[in-house]
Structure formats: structure tokens, C-alpha cells
């Protein structure tokens, strides 16, 4: 989601703060325990690093992103990503109640295939902003819900220069209230939404590249906000949707977000624990967004504002860890981003990459468009400053329970420390970009605190992936893999 300049944004934020004033006081504080991880089919911990694809889908007549297969290849070559949060929309999926558009899903599947061919993990994100475009006869704002599921009860939705203000329009609020059935008039809407998610899961359950489903982008409660919304209708929607998806797909990871207002800035979420009825360990992921409040107020990541933004990030990180502990879920940062022409922009992105490494969290930058926010200078896909910042060393998978992930850009060095875990097989895989490792690499391994030789290592120069197998010494044994430029 794009953010507004300071002079336009302040009225929106002040109104939103009123809505969420009770959130922090009502959330239960739980001290975070050891981080949890998404895992692959060999039990290895996954580290997801990528982009949202893409904001362009919101306005496209076919509801599809701008990307081509060549652009996906270019993205890997310039940024080394292994993850994409791919936007889909309810209005495109189910334009008429109970009738799903299979041609739209065919087009989505084609694009998923482009990523699958390059080893990406694809998260299908059911995206909405401002409920949907059908809240007004002119269809001037929003994306998400189909016309048949939009009930404003005659309340108006005026056009606004500041798109966020449309959330506060009477018709937008009423559309959300009807969806969440706080009006008591439309209990069928959440059921229909969950059924649509089930249909998506039926289509992609056998596609290994699809790692899971983001159940709703940036939920907004209409007239109901804070803990009453998150622990009430939002949790109900998640429970219904989880149950429906599990009827079609037992293996996917299910990504949930708290309410966007306040939580995106770092206020605690009141989202409750959600049960997963699948066979085996639960696969629920907490997928918050991060837009620090000082930056949302227009401050750059520079000068005296930098300290305030860092404090906001620390608050966000603590709140996210607390919520993830309550959910017993791994963390993936579903959105963060800014206009890359601003002062300190690349430093901010690097700060968030370091923070998510510290949290053992995945991340998806908003977005891969060529609009000033993304990694491209223009439609020629010439890489901009973001591409170089995102193109950093990281572990794609770790063959055990990660203890520490550290990329020291000054040294430079990538260090991965983990403990052996029963039932895990396969190598640890490290992405090493040529911008940091232009002439090769030096590899060192420690096992149980002593230098050791890897069982095996293999370098894929085309993908720039180093695979390292460490000698097994039993569950709980700690291994440290460090890679420096040659």
C-alpha cells in the first residue's frame, strides 16, 4: 500500500488513533519464547525473502500484475529473492455469487508457474483496500470485494485525494459492517468469502510452489475496532476460512494479520490463538505489516527522525513477537516499503532486513512495481537502489533449528548458527550474490564449538546458491556456518 505525504496524512492518522485508542491496554502481554519457523518437506527451516506482486493488479482490468516471465527471471538475477506475495482479489475470483472465474485462476496459475520454475515460494494473498470499488456508483476507490457482496445501504462514499480517508466514508464503514455482520443483516458474506478461499485452495493444493494463503490483506473493522474486532469478527472469519481451506489443502501454511490500523505502527494486536485442524503440527503464520508511525507522518529515515523511527521499529518488533507467541506461529513480514527517492530510504530497507533477520522472520517488500517504490528505475527494468539493497546474502533453508542469522555488511560475512533437529534432512542453502562475493567465497564450519569440515558443499554458480551439509552429531548439537568473500 502506498503512503501519503505528511500534510495529507495527518487527519487520517488522528482519526485512526481515536479508533484504536483502547488496543494497547486490552492486549495480553506474553513474553516471547524461541522463534518458530516455516519448514519445507524435509523439515528444514525456511527463510522467505521477496516482494509483493504487485500493486498494479489493483487497477488492472484483468486484476493481474504487470509482470512477465522475463521480469520474474530479471527479479531473481538482480535481487536473489525466493518468495513472492502474489495479490489475488475476491472480485476477480467470484464476480457472480457462487460462480468462480476459472480463466482468472488459469492466468494466476500461469504466473505461479513462472515463479515455480525458478524455485520460488508463492503466497496467494486475498487482497483488499477500502473494501472494494463497488462501494460507490463511480467505482472510484478500492479493490477487493465483488459487487454482489457490497452492501452500503445507501450511505455515500465520496472521492478523496487521500485514499486512506475513504475508509472513514459512511458507505465504506457500512460495507465492512455488513461483511462482518455487525449489522446482523448479512451472515452469508463471511461464509461466501471462506468458500472462495476454499476454491482457491482446491485449485492450488497440488502446486508445490504455493506455500500458502494470506486470508485477508489489512483487515479493517468498520465501526468495530481494536480488541473487540480482532477477537470477535476477525477471529471468526479466520476460523471459518481455516476450516474451509483445510477441507481442500492439508499442507498449506495459513497467514493471518491483525487489524491494519495501529498494528502496522507497532501497537499490540489482540488477535487470539487460532486452532489448525490439519493432521500434524499446526501451520498458522503471523503476517503483520510494518509502516512506522513517524514515517507515516512523513519523516525521513535520517537526522533526528532516525532515532524516533528506530524506536518505533523496536516497539513494532516487540509487539509482533508477543502476538506470534500467543498464536504459536512463525512470523513473516507481509509488507514494508517506502518511496525510494526519499532521504535514507535504502538505509531504512537495510534496517528492516536486519530486523527481520534478528526476529528470524520472513519478509516481502511492497512492491516490485516500477513506480518509485520498487526495485526498478523504470519499465526497462534497469535496477534501482532498492535492488542492490535487497540483493544481500541470506540462508534460503537451514538444516536444523536456527539460533542466529547474521549478515555483517562491514566485514562482510554471513553467519548461520543452528542446532541439529531430529527428522531434518538435506543441506543448508545460502544465497551469495556476486555484489558481495564477486570472486568466490571462503567457507568455515564449527560443530559443537570446534572447527570442522563440512560433510559436503556444492556451489551452483547460476543460482548463486552454496549448499552445505554438516556432519551429524545428534539432536541439539550446535553448528555454525560462516561464509566470507574470497
DSSP 251-262: S-EEEE---STT
Q: How far is CA 79 from CA 87, 103, 107, 391, in A?
A: 20, 31, 25, 4
108 pLDDT tier (thresholds 50, 70, 90)? very high
- What is the DSSP-derived secondary structure letter of residue 271? P
What pLDDT does 31 receive?
A: 55
CA atoms of 56 and 79, how far apart (whole Å):
20
Helix (H) or strand (E) holding 210: strand 210-214
Report percent pLDDT > 70 for the chain: 93
pLDDT on residue 34: 73
pLDDT of residue 296: 86
CA distance 188 to 222: 17
Q: What is the DSSP string of 391-417?
A: ---EEEEESSEEEEEEEETTTTEEEEE
Residue 23 confidence (pLDDT): 44
CB burial string 197-208: b at 16+ within 10 A, e below = bbbbbbbbeebe
Dihedral over Cα of 413, 414, 418, 422: its sign: negative
Q: Please compute the mean of the pLDDT values over residues 188-212 and round it to a whole number.
A: 98
- Determine which helix (DSSP H) or strand (DSSP E) holds 178, and give its type and residue range: helix 170-179
pLDDT in tens, 215-268: 999 999 999 999 999 999 999 999 999 999 999 999 999 999 999 999 999 999
User: End-to-end alpha-carbon separation of the chain, Å?
Assistant: 40
24 pLDDT above the threshold of 90? no
Task: Please report the pLDDT score of residue 434 as a whole number.
Answer: 96
Domain edges within the chain: 49-391, 406-485
DSSP three-state, residue 465: strand
CATH of 406-485, one of 2.40.50, 3.30.450, 1.10.10, 2.60.40: 2.60.40
Is the pLDDT confidence value at 29 over 60? no
pLDDT at 32: 61
What is the rounded CA–CA span in Å between residue 100 and residue 94?
5
Mean pLDDT is lowest, of 282-286, 294-298, 409-413, for 294-298
> Any idea of the CA torsion for 351, 319, 431, 372, to the nearest 10 degrees?
-50
pTM of the model: 0.95
Confidence of residue 79 (pLDDT cuts 50, 70, 90): very high
Q: How far from the centroid of its chain's Cα atoms is residue 398's Cα? A: 20
Mean per-residue pLDDT of the chain: 93
Bridge pairing between strands 362-365 and 450-452:
unpaired
How far is the C-alpha of 191 from the C-alpha of 201, rounded, in Å?
A: 15
* Superfamily of segment(s) 49-391: Glycosidases (3.20.20.80)
Q: Are 149 and 90 in contact (CB under 8 A)?
A: yes
Residues with Cβ within 8 Å of 166's Cβ and at least 6 positions away in sequence, in order, are 130, 141, 142, 157, 158, 159, 160, 172
pLDDT at residue 80, rounded to an integer: 98
Higher pLDDT, residue 456 or 13? 456
Sheet arrangement for strand 210-214: 284-286, 253-256, 210-214, 121-126, 83-88, 49-53, 362-365, 332-333
Amino acid at each position: 500500500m502506498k503512503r501519503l505525504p505528511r500534510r495529507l496524512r495527518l487527519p487520517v492518522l488522528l482519526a485512526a488513533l481515536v479508533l484504536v485508542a483502547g488496543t494497547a491496554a486490552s492486549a495480553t502481554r506474553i513474553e516471547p519464547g524461541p522463534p518458530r519457523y516455516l519448514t519445507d518437506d524435509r523439515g528444514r527451516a525456511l527463510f522467505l525473502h521477496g516482494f509483493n506482486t504487485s500493486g498494479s493488479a489493483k487497477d488492472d482490468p484483468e486484476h493481474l500484475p504487470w509482470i512477465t516471465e522475463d521480469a520474474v527471471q530479471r527479479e531473481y538475477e538482480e535481487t536473489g529473492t525466493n518468495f513472492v506475495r502474489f495479490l489475488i482479489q475476491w472480485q476477480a475470483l467470484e464476480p457472480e455469487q457462487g460462480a468462480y472465474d476459472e480463466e482468472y485462476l488459469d492466468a494466476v496459475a500461469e504466473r505461479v508457474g513462472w515463479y515455480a520454475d525458478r524455485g520460488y515460494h508463492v503466497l496467494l494473498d486475498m487482497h483488499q483496500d477500502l473494501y472494494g470499488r463497488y462501494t460507490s456508483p463511480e467505482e472510484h476507490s478500492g479493490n477487493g470485494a465483488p459487487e454482489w457482496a457490497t452492501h452500503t445501504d445507501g450511505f455515500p462514499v465520496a472521492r478523496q485525494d487521500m485514499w486512506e480517508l475513504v475508509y472513514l466514508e459512511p458507505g465504506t464503514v457500512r460495507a465492512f459492517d455488513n461483511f462482518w455482520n455487525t449489522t446482523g443483516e448479512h451472515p452469508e458474506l463471511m461464509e461466501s468469502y471462506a468458500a472462495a478461499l476454499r476454491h482457491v485452495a482446491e485449485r492450488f493444493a497440488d502446486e508445490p510452489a504455493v506455500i500458502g494463503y494470506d486470508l485477508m490483506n489489512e483487515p479493517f473493522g468498520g465501526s468495530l475496532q481494536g480488541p473487540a474486532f480482532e477477537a470477535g469478527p476477525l477471529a471468526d472469519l479466520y476460523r471459518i476460512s481455516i476450516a474451509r481451506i483445510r477441507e481442500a489443502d492439508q499442507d498449506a501454511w495459513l497467514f493471518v494479520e491483525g487489524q491494519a490500523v495501529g498494528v502496522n505502527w507497532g501497537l499490540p494486536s489482540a488477535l487470539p490463538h487460532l486452532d489448525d485442524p490439519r493432521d500434524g503440527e499446526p501451520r498458522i503464520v503471523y503476517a503483520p505489516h510494518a509502516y512506522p508511525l513517524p514515517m507515516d507522518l512523513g519523516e525521513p529515515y535520517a537526522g533526528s527522525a532516525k532515532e524516533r523511527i528506530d524506536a518505533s521499529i523496536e516497539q513494532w518488533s516487540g509487539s509482533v513477537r508477543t502476538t506470534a507467541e500467543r498464536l504459536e506461529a512463525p512470523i513473516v513480514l507481509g509488507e514494508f516499503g517506502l518511496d525510494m527517492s526519499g532521504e535514507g530510504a535504502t538505509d531504512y530497507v537495510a534496517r528492516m532486513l536486519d530486523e527481520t533477520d534478528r526476529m528470524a522472520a520472513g519478509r516481502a517488500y511492497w512492491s516490485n512495481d516500477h513506480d518509485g517504490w520498487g526495485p526498478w528505475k523504470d519499465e526497462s527494468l534497469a535496477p534501482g537502489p532498492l535492488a542492490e539493497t535487497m540483493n544481500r546474502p541470506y540462508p534460503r533453508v537451514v538444516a536444523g533449528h536456527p539460533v542466529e542469522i547474521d549478515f555483517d555488511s562491514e566485514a562482510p560475512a554471513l553467519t548461520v548458527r543452528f542446532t541439529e533437529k531430529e527428522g531434518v534432512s538435506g543441506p543448508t542453502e545460502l544465497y551469495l550474490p556476486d555484489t558481495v562475493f564477486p570472486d568466490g567465497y571462503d567457507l568455515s564450519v564449527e560443530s559443537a564449538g570446534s572447527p570442522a569440515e563440512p560433510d559436503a558443499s556444492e556451489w551452483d554458480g547460476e543460482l548463486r546458491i552454496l549448499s552445505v551439509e554438516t556432519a551429524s552429531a545428534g539432536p541439539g548439537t550446535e553448528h555454525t556456518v560462516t561464509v566470507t568473500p574470497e
